[in-house]
Structure 1
Amino acid sequence: MGGTEQSTEDTTGAFLDDIVVTANRRSQNLQDVALSVSALGSRELEAFNVRSGTDIARFTPGVSISNSFAGQSQQYSIRGVTQNDYNDIFEGPIAVYYDDTYMTSIQGQVFGTFDLERVEILKGPQGTLFGKNATGGLVHFIPKQPTKETEAYFDWGYGRFNGVRLEGAVSGSLAPNLRGRASILYSRSDPYLKNIYPAGGGVPTLPPGPRFGEDLGGEDLIAGRLQLETDLGERLNVRLAGTAARMTMGNGPYTNRAIQPVFNAAGQYIDTIALPSGTPDGLGFIAPPPGSEQTASDFAKDSGYYGRSYDASLHVRYEFDSFDVISVTSYKRFEKSMAVDIDGGPVNFVNYGQRNTSNSLTQEIRAAGETEGGLRWATGAFFSKARARGRLGFLAPANSLFAGQFGATATGIDLINPLKYKNTNYSIFANVDLPLTNRLTLVVGGRLIREKLRFNFASNGYANVDDYEIDTETIIIPGLQPSSRHRETDRLWAGKVNLEYRFEDGSLAYAGVSRGVKGGAFNAKLPDGTPPLLASEIPYRPETLYSYEIGAKTQLFEDRVRLSAAAFYYDYKNYQTFTLKNVTGTISNNDAHAWGGELGAQFTPTDRLRGTVAVAYTKATVKDVVIAAAAPTAPAVLDDVNPTFAPRLQASGNLSYDLPLDLFGGTLTAIADVSFISDFYDNIRNFTGQRHNGHTLVNGGLSWLNADRTLTIKGYVKNLTNNTYVETAFDTASLCGCGQIQYSKPRWWTVSLRKEF
């Protein structure tokens, strides 16, 4: 499974390249790592146009993207371990690392990729060696680092919707024992979703203005990274790195759909049915058909919202005679502002907005070494402190239906929850690889964690100043929900025990059990008119995952084929279940379990043909989820359900073939990749209208590489078949008989030129 980090060998050779990863905090050949891990190397990332963190999922079965709010909040889901809470100041169950530093906030997890050495994807609990909240796995983005020799590259691309992408880097020695690397990315494209407002039925109650009815789905991203590295003597290495990124965006590229709530005889809301295309929704609006690349939203502007990230890190390594000590210090700041049209149509109903800021400081120090007897060990300590401020809630402009319910028809009103969150984490860890025989190894590891949580919650109505922004200057309705303060302390532990057996031919078999944990956090229910949560319902408990896994890896036909397989069973205690009802969501604790397996192969049958294929099956169940609350004449409706954004079956494959042509002295290569995911749900209640069909995505192109391997010209098409499928949706059937839905981007072509110096 996965891809390659390129070796120094000619990659057109008949044999597979060595795949080097650091999944165990040391450099190892991928085939020698006793866990389910995939890797995409720099050349594979470039060849198959991996342009963002979301593209990683299409190459890694078992990994999917959990969406909320039109993709403006995105998190990874691995083997059914997922979280799609729209309040992304909190942390998810899949840890994301960037350059050996932990990202404490969900809102900073998915970003543009540039100048990367590789991406590693680890499945299953990784809390022993990788900090906190790696319950379901870990995604690690590893950038290229400064080099002694001068090198540089420039990559220019142009594509559909006036898409422009510029990427480049320069690296080399600046002075004796001082090296540097500077990298930059600029990417933009016009909106792909045409806004036909006010067409489509319904009666808009706000006249069009300069910011009404704009097209949606554009992109404007700029990012840069600077690194300095020095050797202070033969043993001490110091590297300072800084990254900044700014993404400008418009409202989420949603369109509308008509959906109908279903109630039982006791009046309990037990299902949702999606109505056929062309059917009016509960507000009288008829949405453009799927695949039309159209929306008809009154609340729509193509810019004005943003995501910003800033990162600085200090990496220090000292090599003693028999072990190394590594210190990694990191500071991160994320800022985010976004908004969406809740009904997704031309009716001036109500909108949702969010503005967050989070800051984090992390410090890890670890030591690792190997004894003469072959025992490998690693130990260390980790500290993190994260602070976040959130403003999230409803934007009800003047003349909106929602504002009228609060007597603010003429002025509008913002119904906002201001939040403050603080998380302080201390942990110590150790891991030992103990050879029992020359072929059998016992691996034991553990981490002890103490986490302090602080949370302040308020909920007020504020005077509306700007229809498109969250306004919190003047309170006009205090206490929409009771204010509260919460303090929690969690004491947790993670651990693993593995047995690894290495055969004479280099094959590997392993079996083990791991315990992963994720700390608790807090609910921030929106002021939607339903009863507020009790103070005891605002905190939710930590979750614990026991993972049992067996696997094997081998190589065949003189290393022309590499195979991997794994099977797993997950037993979850207090799974943090996010349930979205109407326009607000809360997290509860439920037990859950999952089981499944994965198969993968890399192959190079000839010196011209290379490829990978992988498949994953996951059957996950969350138990006793509250589908409908108790009614006066009926108990609560409970059911066992599937997690959100967790398809049972996923498969992917890619091929590259060097055509037997001499084209201007260079090599012409055909490239293609295909990925498939089966049906999935966007809501934990698993209503009929919340289930979306599986889909297949096909991409491909041609690439020409000159004789000295410094110039690449490529044409590439994503979504070759122009397939229309659902990426995410938002069910507000009981509120308005309508909902938002985001469809896939249409066929998207690009041409690019890359020059290496």
Structure 2
Amino acid sequence: MRKILLAGVSAAWATFPAAGYAQNIEKTTEQSASAIAEPVENNDPMMEIVVTAQRRSEKLQNVGISVSAFSGETLRTAGITSSIEITKFTPGITASGAVGGQGMQFSIRGVTQSDYNDAIEGPVAVYIDDVYINSQQGHGMALFDLARVEALKGPQGTLFGRNATGGLVHFIVNKPELSKYGGYANATYGRFDQTTLEGALNIPIGDSTALRVSGTWDRHGAVWRNSYPAGMVTGTPLNFGASAISPIGQDLGGDDKLAGRAQLLVQPNDGLTIRLTGSALRQNLSSSPWTTSSVVPVVDGQDRVVGGFFASPTETRAAAGPNGQNYYNPAVLGFQGFLYSPNNDGHRAPGASWFGYVPVDIGERRLSEEFAKKNSNSFRAYNGALHIDADLGGAQLASVTSWSRYKKNFLLDGEASPVNAFDFGTRSNVRSISQELRLSGASGGVNWTTGAFYLDIDARNAQGLLGPAGSALGVAFGLPAGVDAMSVYRLKTRSVSLFGQLNWEFAPAFTLVVGGRLIREHQNYEFSSDAYADSGAYVIDTETALFPLHPSFQQTRTDWPWAGKAQLEYRPHQGLLLYAGINRGVKAGSYNAKLADGSPPLQPSEIPYEPEALLSYEAGVKLTGPSNRYTLNLSVFHYDYKDYQSFTFTHISGLVQNRDARTNGVEVEATLRPFGGFNLSASVAYVDTKVKNVQVAPGVSRDARPTYAPEFSGSLVASYTLPAMDGDLTIGGNLSHQSSVYHNARNFQSQKISGRTLTDFSVRWESQSGLSLSAFLKNAFDKRYKTVGLDLATACGCNVEAYGMPRTWGIMIGQSF
């Protein structure tokens, strides 16, 4: 840890990394975090940033937590339309995901969960407007009419509860304002026919009531050109019987999103604020845009897959045996029975997958998939909440009551090729209600918060392998007319917790922070796995079960996890904060939902997995220069992980197992404002992390790096604002870097995603009257970079992988009033 600390301090003074990339942040107040904050009219970058990381408004540089903050206006100007894109600006925060990149989650400091199971919750909590979003896809509706985004790193279990093991991301919306009529409207057009309309209207109703209505429509056409059936070796079959798939080979990557939010604010007196909110999202997408890389599994002397590597253009081995020889054994690797071998000798065609597909050039934005439909996938979200803030005299009461429903229907080509082999579908319907009560106050150098939280989630899911007519999967089941191998499961969760935190200034310049949360977690899980009659392509149908595939499973259990915090803070003078503490975060246990992929079913003891607990040791420094002309933040941390929930994808399914882990890291963030209008910020994060005894194959375990956890990440952001044409002109740029990651916990060479460096630019002019014109350029050098992958080496001799967006540009016109 001493070496990490010294390296971090050296990096800080060498590069001045960033403390936050935010403007137009709310004024400093001492009110409740749920209360309405007055927005800042001044655009002066020297103003101090205010966050609500401890459930009350505080200056960012005065909070003993590693926090990054971004204004909604900053994100909009940069052309940010996806919530996951904030990872470009934040050290230590990256993205993990599944389903061809259409489902992405946050990963913080190597704390990640790449399971595609829609019933589970991630270890990085997401909040929208003070409401916990239990769906890993639910944060897609966040990026409109935003005041700011706060990213908190490290366990946040004391004040934010379970499933904030790695940290949390909070999207804070603009709220209604009394006695002020106003709003804004923006229109954007960009590459791939991107069309975005966004607006908000604030309407005062009398002296004590206001209504705010906002919404967005954001769509773009297909990004990836489908050249089906290009890439197939001459003579290879596209189907294994009469195919009924229609349509086939459509272009992919299109997205059409419509979202809206309404808020009614009532403030009958100065001591009571009531805010009722409702929001909805409708998103339609193409089937998931996967691509393929040919890979070679490595098999040991006991017929176990213990490695893998990417196939060269001349590679002909179907798999590599113990001595490097060709390994062909359909009795062990069942899908080798479909191997296209030009010489009928158990070798693959050069550089091809087992099905005879040589991947087309992704550099030309091409892919080649048969199971590809431009509008097959959909996501729906509905949320309602009641926020009440009351001044009780010596304390403030905050109540947040919420209801949410999420519906998802996603489909993808299983092996991402022109061959009718197998496909994948997932359908979920998740309903949740929650209630939080917080009581807070301050007296005699003590700030305190206490409260209770209740959460009820009912998640119904169906996911599995789809085998339409003529598919290899149907033939493997002896049902060439088609079969779907589906896992159907339901997880009901009820969580109740009591929590409290005390910030005590026990001596001049010294503050002690102590807190804890006790949680009761009750779960009921039901699982079944059956073969269903196929109802046609692009359909997930669990009505007609033919026969069981895996034994059913049912369990009810109750756990009592707990979180806690103890931290010492020292403020020797204005502008300097030093802190050190111990923090315990927890994530609830859950259940595996294995696909029927031909491998043996799980034993009953392997289906449930235990809660994970992270014990964090962290120390940090926050330095603020005169007039906020520079800031320098440094944090070092060590994580001891007990029962880390490690997800490993093998064959065509995944498995979560509890393993211990450890992490060491350092983050440096800073800003420099040498003169008016110029802002330079940069950041760097180093994370050394390891999961112990990851099961690579039966009887084979190794220490490995967790998925989607880069060793290095960082960004450099610059902007300059100057007067121009009776307004202000701002020119900005962002450089972000992430080192390589693994998409599978087994850490095979074929499971490695190369690092990337991306560059974005933006320019914005805004007049005194509120008219604005802006333009953005993202991924300016048109890099092709992988974002997500799944190892299907034992199913097709290939990986399926998703790529990030190519170069995009857009122009925007807006008017605020």
Shorter-chain-normalised TM-score: which range? over 0.9
Higher relative contact order (CA 8 A, sep 6+): 2
2:172 is matched with which residue?
142
- Corresponding residue for residue 668 of structure 1: 729
Give CA deviations for 1:166-185 in whole Å, capped at 9, x if unaligned.
00000131233111100010
**2:202 corresponding residue in structure 1:** 171
Aligned with residue 358 of structure 1, among 423, 426, 430: 430
Partner AA of 1:670 in structure 2: I
Counterpart secondary structure, 1:368: strand
Pair 1:582 & 2:651 matched: yes
1:514-557 deviation line (CA, Å, top 9, x unaligned): 01111111011100111111111110011110000000101125
Q: CA deviation at 1:5?
A: 4.8
2:529 matched residue in structure 1: 459
Q: Structure 2 vs 1, CA of residues 195 and 692 (structure 1 numbering), >3 Å: closer, same or farther?
A: same
- Decide which of 293, 303, 310 is 1:257's aligned counterpart: 293
Alpha-carbon offset, residue 756 of structure 1:
0.5
Match of 2:396 in 1: 324
Cα-to-partner distance string for 1:483-528 (whole Å, 9 max, x where unaligned)? 1111111011100000001122321000000011111110111001
5 Å-filtered alignment, 1:308-457, equals 308-371=380-443, 373-409=444-480, 411-457=481-527
TM-score, normalised to structure 1, is 0.96
Matching residue of 2:323: none
Q: What secondary structure is seen at the aligned counterpart in 2 of 1:224?
A: strand
Percent of aligned positions with the same letter in both sequences?
A: 40
**CA displacement 1:189-214 (0-9 Å, x = unmatched):** 11110001112114311669651000
Q: Alpha-carbon deviation of 1:46?
A: 2.2
- Among 685, 698, 701, the alignment partner of 2:762 is 701
Q: Say whether the 8 Å CA contact 2:403–2:432 is kept in structure 1.
A: yes
What residue number does 1:214 align with? 250
AA at the equivalent of 1:194: R
The letter of the residue matching 2:727 is: G
CA distance in 1, matches of 2:166, 2:267: 37
> Is 2:816 the counterpart of 1:756?
yes
Please list, as runs of the form range in 1=range in 2, the aligned pairs for 1:164-313 lying within 5 A after superposition. 164-201=195-232, 202-205=236-239, 210-276=246-312, 279-313=351-385
Q: Equivalences for 1:320-719 in 2 at 5 Å?
A: 320-371=392-443, 373-409=444-480, 411-477=481-547, 479-629=548-698, 636-658=699-721, 662=724, 664-706=725-767, 708=768, 710-719=770-779
What letter is aligned with 2:532?
Y
Give the secondary structure class of the aligned counterpart of 2:137: helix
In the other structure, the counterpart of 2:70 is 40
The separation in 2 between residues aligned to 1:652 and 1:33, in whole angstroms, is 22
Distance in 1 separating the partners of 2:122 and 2:803: 24
Q: CA deviation at 1:701?
A: 2.6
Q: Which moved more, 1:375-384 or 1:264-273?
A: 264-273
Alpha-carbon distance in 1 for matches of 2:474, 2:506 = 70
2:106 is matched with which residue? 76
Quick one: which amino acid aligns to residue 507 of structure 2?
Answer: T
| C-alpha contact 1:553 1:565 (8 A) present in aligned 2 | yes
Report deviation, 1:736.
Answer: 1.2
Does structure 2 retain, via aligned residues, the 8 Å contact 1:9–1:17? no
Partner SS, residue 232 of structure 1: strand
**Distance apart, 1:558 and its partner CA:** 3.6
Partner of 1:466, secondary structure, is coil
* Deviations 1:223-280 (CA, angstroms, capped at 9, x unpaired): 0000001012331110000110010011111112211101122222011111236821
**Farther-moved stretch of structure 1 (487-496 vs 43-52):** 43-52
Task: Tell me how far apart the structure 1 counterparts of residues 397 and 103 of structure 2 sit (CA, whole Å).
Answer: 37
* Equivalent pairs, count: 744
Q: 1:42 to 1:709 in 2, by over 3 A?
A: farther
- Residue-by-residue CA offset, 1:100-142 (whole Å, 9 max, x unaligned): 1111222324445100011111011101001221111011111
Q: 1:485 to 1:143 in 2, by over 3 A?
A: same
Residue 667 of structure 1 and its aligned partner are, at CA, apart by 3.0
Measured in 1, the distance between the counterparts of 2:799 and 2:415 equals: 6
Separation (CA, whole Å) in 2 of partners of 1:735 and 1:396: 14
The CA distance in 2 between the partners of 1:59 and 1:577, in whole Å, is: 27
CA contact (8 A) 1:453 1:488 kept: yes
- Residue range with higher mean Cα deviation, 67-76 or 645-654: 67-76
**Amino acid corresponding to residue 137 of structure 1 in structure 2:** G
- Shift in Å, 1:748: 0.5
Structure 1 position 608, deviation (Å): 2.6
Return closer, same or farther for 1:209/1:134 CA change in 2, 3 Å cut-off.
closer
Answering whether residue 781 of structure 2 is matched by residue 747 of structure 1, we say: no
CA distance in structure 2 between the partners assigned to 1:104 and 1:703 by the alignment: 36
DSSP-derived class of the 1:436 partner: strand
**Residue 3, structure 1, aligned to residue 21, structure 2:** yes
Residues 55-70 of structure 1 mapped to structure 2, 5 A cutoff: 55-70=85-100
Take 1:329 and 1:3, find their aligned partners in 2: how far apart are those partners?
Answer: 31
**Offset, 1:702:** 2.0
C-alpha offsets along residues 324-355 of structure 1, whole Å, 9 cap, x if unaligned? 01110000100000011111000100001000
Deviation digits for residues 694-729 of structure 1 (CA, Å, limit 9, x no counterpart): 0001000322222x1501111111100001111111
Shift of 1:290: 2.9
State the alpha-carbon separation in 1 of the partners of residues 260 and 194 from structure 2.
19
Q: From the superposition, tell whether residues 129 and 12 of structure 1 become closer, same or farther in structure 2 (CA, over 3 Å).
A: closer
Does the 8 Å contact 2:489/2:527 carry over to 1? yes
Q: Distance in 2 between matches of 1:12 and 1:533?
A: 58
Tell whether the 8 Å contact from 1:208 to 1:298 is kept in structure 2 after alignment: no
Distance 2:549 2:783 in 1: 44
Distance 1:33 1:117, change over 3 A: same
Q: Corresponding residue for 2:82?
A: 52
Structure 1 CA distance, aligned partners of 2:765 and 2:172?
Answer: 27
Q: 1:4, 1:17 within 8 Å by CA — same for their partners in 2? A: no
Separation in 1, partners of 2:307, 2:706: 17
Structure 1 residues 404 and 101: CA distance shift in structure 2, 3 A:
same
Q: Which has the higher helix share?
A: 2
- Unpaired segments of 5 or more residues in structure 1? 630-635
Whole-angstrom distance in 2 between the partners of 1:350 and 1:668: 53
Which secondary structure does the structure 1 equivalent of 2:531 belong to? Answer: strand
Question: C-alpha distance in 2, partners of 1:514/1:713?
Answer: 46
Q: Do 1:525 and 1:586's aligned partners in 2 also have CA atoms closer than 8 Å?
A: yes
- Once residues 385 and 625 of structure 1 are traced to their aligned partners in structure 2, the CA distance between those partners, rounded to angstroms, is 33
Secondary structure, counterpart of 1:135 in structure 2: coil
Instruction: Answer yes or no: is the 8 Å Cα contact 1:227–1:240 preserved in 2.
Output: yes
Aligned to 2:269, the other structure's residue is in SS state coil
Q: Is structure 2 residue 159 aligned with structure 1 residue 129?
A: yes
Q: Do the aligned partners of 1:73 and 1:88 also contact (CA within 8 Å) in 2?
A: no
For 2:402, the aligned partner's letter is S
**Cα distance in 2, alignment partners of residues 155 and 750 from structure 1:** 12
Q: CA deviation at 1:299?
A: 0.3
**TM-score (norm. length: structure 2):** 0.89
State whether residues 6 and 18 of structure 1, in contact with CA within 8 Å, keep that contact through their aligned partners in structure 2. Answer: no
Relative to structure 2, which stretch is displaced further, 644-653 or 468-477?
468-477
Residue 367 of structure 1 aligns to a residue whose secondary structure is strand
Residues 9/299 of structure 1: CA separation in 2 closer, same or farther (3 Å cut): closer
